[in-house]
Amino acid sequence: MGNDYRKGCANIASHECKFSRISKHGKLLMKVRLQKLGLMTPRLTLKVIYVFKLPRGTGAGGVDKKGITMKYIVAIIQPGRLTAVHEALVGIGIEGLTTSEVQGYGRQKGKTETYRGAEYTVHFLPKVKIEVAVDAKMADKVVETIKIASESGKIGDGKIFTFDLSSATRIRTGETGADAL
Amino acid sequence: MLNSFYSKLSLVGAAAALAAFAATPAFAQEVPEHGVFILNSVLFLMAGFLVMFMACGFCMLEAGLVRAKNTTMQLTKNMALFSTAAIGYYLIGYNLMYPLGDWSIDGVFSALFPAVAVMEAVGVAPEAADDIAYASTASDYFFQLMFCAATASIVSGTLAERIKLWPFLLFTLILTAFIYPLQASWKWGGGFLDEMGFLDFAGSTVVHSVGGWAALAGALVLGARAGKYKDGRVVPMPGANLPLATLGTFILWLGWFGFNGGSQLAMGTVSDVADVSRIFANTNAAAAGGSLAAAVLTQIFYKKVDLTMVLNGALAGLVSITAEPLTPSLGVATLIGGVGGLIVVFSVPMLDKMKIDDVVGAIPVHLIAGIWGTLAVPLTNSDANFGTQIISIAIVGAFTFAISWVVWTVINLILGIRVSEEEELEGLDKAELGMESYPDFSKQV
């Protein structure tokens, strides 16, 4: 049933569908607020209301009644391996990912460098964090792919973490769950 | 007719004139009337532009070697110190430095004190020029001012990241109006060091070591940056932007051709032009020697090349050749510069052991390599002797260090020269200026 709802609302033209999820009062409030800011055309207002309101309530989003269908994978890798990992993930059909530059340390506890003749320890080493949300069936394959593509065999190669993912929403269309990935 | 043509030439046009008479056989034998005046003035202007650009070099080098949170302040100090030098040198510096034989204390203190610098009249006629056999007064003033400003630039790098802006500028004013010109008059103004036979072509001692001594005195009064020396260890604080530091070093390298080449002070004869050319080539060779020596030595000692030392090495090579850029052969110039690079690699950690915190390495580069360069003069120039060089280095050093130390101490007692520890941790950009260099970039400590 939830699935039907998502599909029905995938088309932004079917406004009624979204309105049905929001109380009249909430709709009005949101509209007034946004229009006061001078940001809103009526059409845009509808979209924003939809996005703001949807995550509320347990029914919305990608939780399947049968259980977890999505996984969220976070990998901390050597910055120089990003290109290889990206290409490998594209190769197995991953459609999108997020990266950020981060700093941290593991068992290695940073490393020693010399600057102008004085030794010092860099406590937080630069790494790249990759975040990718995937269908649960794909998770093992993604983890394995990242592992192979980012491995140099040396200390400091990083780690991969996998989380259960309870919800996903594509902001533009309102699709939720695995369809939003 | 040609004579009147030359006398009407503007200074800027003189380079074209040089090409014109060089190409005409009739003028190949001698420089036409006023040609010496014109060509010397052109040398001063051209070299002055180059030395002026060294202010940019120092600024970029320092901006690259401080941490990001102090970048705006370092840029501000460099801009302000250059401007302060221009005022100080105008007000009393120039006439204090060049008494033209008019001493109130013979060979020690100019009688033209306090007196502002005065240029020749607008459209001055050849008969009315201050010294028709030399160069226009304004070109000489412009050129010498840039040396004075370079001295002040040396100080700012050492004291970076912890000194307050205004007390620093007050010291800069005293340095550029009084300390630098006074000791420079002893040599370049025809004072007692010059009489003794001291040789310092473009200022390894007169400019660079003076900047270094003033910086050393300041560093001692000011103290090290917070957290720099902890539990008997040195805590490095890597510079934020090595591309800028490298750009700055290359700009300094370029500017040095004007610094040393212009110090020939003459371009009106074949031998002068040939000498200026020799100086350019030797200056370049010494920088190359210094940077390569530093690269090789850091590879040997630390297993990796340290770019900041290579940059310092190039500058130390330049400072080393500054006392005598004319007489060495290219090979000897390279070696003299190479020793400069070696000095940097050894003296940077040595200063750290003594807990003297020199952010950009100005003391090794300008003071210690400056002393080396001055001592190296007798190696290739038989007019110099070690005894006179050593005595002169000691006199200039003792005077500059002592008076700088007193001035720093007095300013510290009256105004306080150091920011609070909290402001230092926050960074001078936010604390003193409220303006960051890269507000759009995320920051790491």
A123 residue type, one letter: H
A121–chain B Cβ distance below 8 A for any pair: no
CB pairs under 8 A between A and B: 34
Q: Would you call B352 and A103 a contact, using CB atoms and an 8 Å cutoff?
A: no
Q: How far is CA B157 from CA A23, B250, B362, B391, in A?
A: 65, 17, 7, 28
- For the segment A24-29, the average pLDDT, to the nearest whole number, is 52
CB B360 within 8 A of CB B244: no
CB A113 within 8 A of CB A52: no
Predicted confidence (pLDDT) at residue B401 exceeds the cutoff of 90: yes
Predicted confidence (pLDDT) at residue B20 exceeds the cutoff of 70: no
pLDDT in tens, B172-216: 999 999 999 999 999 999 999 999 999 999 999 999 999 999 999
> What is this structure's pTM?
0.79
**DSSP states of B107-156:** TTEESSTT----PPPTT--GGGSS-TTS--HHHHHHHHHHHHHHHHHHHH
A120–chain B Cβ distance below 8 A for any pair: yes
Predicted confidence (pLDDT) at residue B81 exceeds the cutoff of 50: yes
CB interface of A with B, residues 27-86, below 8 Å: none
B295 residue type, one letter: A
User: Smallest Cβ distance to A114: which of B233, B235, B302?
Assistant: B302
User: What is the sign, positive or negative, of the torsion defined by CA atoms of B298, B379, B319, B257?
Assistant: negative
**Tokens 């609302």 belong to residue:** A9
User: What mean pLDDT is reported for chain A?
Assistant: 74
pLDDT of residue A178: 85
Among candidate residues A26, A45, A21, A50, the one with its CA nearest the CA of residue A173: A50
Among candidate residues B193, B187, B144, the one with its CA nearest the CA of residue B45: B144
Instruction: Determine the Cα–Cα distance for residues A125 and A129; give it in Å rounded to an integer.
Output: 12
Question: pLDDT grade, residue A35 (50/70/90)?
Answer: low
Instruction: Determine the Cα–Cα distance for residues B189 and B135; give it in Å rounded to an integer.
Output: 16
- For the segment B154-160, the average pLDDT, to the nearest whole number, is 97
pLDDT of residue B278: 98
A100–chain B Cβ distance below 8 A for any pair: no
User: Smallest Cβ distance to A116: which of B304, B308, B444?
Assistant: B308
Instruction: Determine the Cα–Cα distance for residues B250 and B56; give it in Å rounded to an integer.
Output: 10
B388 residue type, one letter: T
Query: Shortest Cα distance from A162 to chain B (angstroms)?
Result: 28
pLDDT in tens, B258-268: 999 999 999 99
pLDDT of residue A123: 86
B239 compared with A24, residue with greater pLDDT: B239
pLDDT of residue A173: 94
Predicted confidence (pLDDT) at residue B238 exceeds the cutoff of 50: yes
Predicted confidence (pLDDT) at residue B223 exceeds the cutoff of 90: yes
Does an H or E element contain B369, and which? Answer: helix B369-375
Q: Would you call B234 and A114 a contact, using CB atoms and an 8 Å cutoff?
A: no
Cis peptide before B25 (omega within 30 of 0): no
Most B CBs within 10 A among A103, A116, A122, hence the mutation to make, goes to A116
Predicted confidence (pLDDT) at residue B386 exceeds the cutoff of 60: yes
Tokens of B376: 């190296």
